[in-house]
Structure 1
Amino acid sequence: MSTSGNAGTTTTSLSVNLNKVALVRNTRHLGIPSVLTAANACLAAGAQGITVHPRPDARHIRAHDVSDLSALLAKDWPGIEFNIEGNPFQNLMDFVRELRPHQATFVPDSESQSTSDHGWSFPDDAERLRPLIAEAKALGVRVSLFMDPIPEMMAAVKAVGADRVELYTEGYAASRGTAGEEAVLARYVESARAAHAAGLGVNAGHDLSRDNLTAFLRAVRGVHEVSIGHAFVADALELGYTATTREYLRCITEAQQQARPA
């Protein structure tokens, strides 16, 4: 897990999202590729966390995967962070209550979405989120809310009881190489600053890759954790789990060495 400090000294952790490993496995009934094998390989190569997002339709990660991973981490990888993502108004809270992961990331996705594509809205979502955040925290689970890069919402996230935000980074990834890239990135920088000012930790994820991760972390200071799945698994098909994990850790290290002044 990350070493927390101020925005200039936070060490960013790599949490590998294994959803796409399960997606490939689910196309046949052979049990391969193995989600547990993938987790072991990534952790042995230095990853600091495992993320899963079990959706109600079980299109990729399934309930038994979540339980199996929780047992594996408890037995063989004590101290490794387990992050379960999902909509707390669907099936997420069942996993939180049963398994008590280190972190629950609340994501406002509908059952019909192919992937997460927007964050929570404040003040609209505040009151319905508040009791579920309180319940998760009472179970000893850190709560992170999936949020668009809107600096003005960060104080409201803190007020509703969350511990962290996960900045939704698809907008950043899509802007790379365009005329609007710097303006888009500036919104993430300001959002992270606003989150830190409110007393929140900052995570980030969605469409981060080897091509854009270093630049993002070099600009957006104080990110505790990046959760990377689609690009990671795509890279692993070519490089293998071990080499891919080391490549993403290299990207993080380079960003910390080259960080812009805060």
Structure 2
Amino acid sequence: MTKLSVNINKIATLRNARGGNVPDIVKVALDCEQFGADGITVHPRPDERHIRRADVYALKPLLKTEFNIEGYPDAVFMDLVLKVRPNQVTLVPDSPTQITSNAGWDTKINQEFLSEILDKLKEAGIRTSVFVDPSVEMVEYAAKAGADRIELYTEPYATLFPKNKEAAVAPFIEAAKTARKLGLGLNAGHDLSLENLNYLYQNIPWLDEVSIGHALIADALYLGLERTIQEYKKCLR
């Protein structure tokens, strides 16, 4: 069964807009678990504009499901994840100024760099995932670098989906088949929603995990958090 990991960055953005601790990040994460989420994802950035490093430390001992930390592996990020030791670390090629992730790694050019990082994470007993575009070559080089999993960057799928869903999903199917052939685990994330998630799942039913934040939190404004999580999980059946 494909797991749903809820990215709670947007909750932290709301909290940080006013200061204080409303909404309470830890409580929201625990509520997500109670409502059926299979994991919690956070993406701390250097400026701490949403998730803060202190949030990561607070969450780790309390979460009962899988904890996935995303980010660019600079020295600060690596110090954080090696101390916290989440279930999974997802390496994302973000610059500090990016609003959100907008591309996968060039795993061919960055193979040596990624290999060194992945080795350090594996030595700490952390499962690794590398954020990649739906390219057979990028998947192959992620495997050569030593990744346990890849996470397919699904914004191109979400953008094309309303116009031509078959064309939108086609490169993702090929990349996913390559990952399976190479023995890589398979995650997906970015701009997945109630409108497009089930079609992706139908075409790639061996997905291990999807990580969803922005759309899920936006839907929760109308549906409530508990119902929203259940609706997303229905898309993965």
Q: What amino acid is aligned across from residue 29 of structure 2 in structure 1?
A: A
**Structure 1 residues 12 and 228, CA gap change in structure 2 (3 angstroms):** same
**Structure 1 stretches of 4+ moved >2 Å:** 89-92
Question: Does the 8 A contact of 1:85 with 1:92 survive in 2?
Answer: no
Q: Does 2:178 match 1:194? A: yes
1:115 and 1:145 map into 2 onto residues whose CA distance is 16
1:224 and 1:232 map into 2 onto residues whose CA distance is 19
Q: Does 2:229 match 1:245? A: yes
Q: Does 2:76 match 1:91? A: yes
Partner of 1:33: 23
Counterparts of residues 214-233 of structure 1 (less than 5 Å) = 214-233=198-217
Question: Does the 8 A contact of 1:192 with 1:221 survive in 2?
Answer: no
Q: Following TM superposition, by how much is the alpha carbon of 1:238 offset from its aligned partner in structure 2, in angstroms?
A: 1.6
Which sections of structure 2, spanning at least 5 residues, go unmatched? none
Q: What amino acid is aligned across from residue 157 of structure 1 in structure 2?
A: A
Q: Does 2:166 match 1:182? A: yes
Could you list the per-position Cα deviations for residues 42-73 of structure 1 after superposition, in whole angstroms to 9, with x for gaps in the alignment?
Answer: 11111110000000000100011111110211
2:107 and 2:34 map into 1 onto residues whose CA distance is 40
Q: Does 2:34 match 1:49? A: no
Q: Does 2:5 match 1:12? A: no
Question: Does the 8 A contact of 1:38 with 1:241 survive in 2?
Answer: no
Could you list the per-position Cα deviations for residues 63-89 of structure 1 after superposition, in whole angstroms to 9, with x for gaps in the alignment?
Answer: 11111110211xxx2xx1000000012
Q: What amino acid is aligned across from residue 50 of structure 1 in structure 2?
A: I
**Aligned counterpart in structure 1 of residue 66 of structure 2, from 73, 76, 81:** 81
Moved more, 135-144 or 40-49: 40-49
Q: Does 2:160 match 1:170? A: no
Partner of 2:52: 62
Which sections of structure 1, spanning at least 5 residues, go unmatched? 1-10, 254-262
Q: Following TM superposition, by how much is the alpha carbon of 1:92 offset from its aligned partner in structure 2, in angstroms?
A: 2.3
2:75 and 2:228 map into 1 onto residues whose CA distance is 32
Could you list the per-position Cα deviations for residues 79-137 of structure 1 after superposition, in whole angstroms to 9, with x for gaps in the alignment?
Answer: x1000000012532122211110000000000111100000113101011111100000
TM-score (norm 1): 0.88
Query: How much is the aligned-residue C-alpha RMSD, in angstroms?
Result: 1.1
**Structure 1 residues 90 and 119, CA gap change in structure 2 (3 angstroms):** farther
Could you list the per-position Cα deviations for residues 185-214 of structure 1 after superposition, in whole angstroms to 9, with x for gaps in the alignment?
Answer: 110000000011111000000000111100
TM-score (norm 2): 0.97
Q: Following TM superposition, by how much is the alpha carbon of 1:184 offset from its aligned partner in structure 2, in angstroms?
A: 2.7
Q: Following TM superposition, by how much is the alpha carbon of 1:32 offset from its aligned partner in structure 2, in angstroms?
A: 0.6
Question: Does the 8 A contact of 2:161 with 2:168 survive in 1?
Answer: no
1:37 and 1:44 map into 2 onto residues whose CA distance is 10
Partner of 1:259: none
1:91 and 1:185 map into 2 onto residues whose CA distance is 36
Question: Does the 8 A contact of 2:158 with 2:168 survive in 1?
Answer: no
**Matched residue pairs, number?**
237
Partner of 1:151: 136
Partner of 2:116: 131
2:189 and 2:75 map into 1 onto residues whose CA distance is 21
Q: Following TM superposition, by how much is the alpha carbon of 1:153 offset from its aligned partner in structure 2, in angstroms?
A: 2.2
Q: What amino acid is aligned across from residue 11 of structure 2 in structure 1?
A: V
Q: Following TM superposition, by how much is the alpha carbon of 1:29 offset from its aligned partner in structure 2, in angstroms?
A: 2.0
1:184 and 1:124 map into 2 onto residues whose CA distance is 26
Question: Does the 8 A contact of 1:173 with 1:208 survive in 2?
Answer: yes
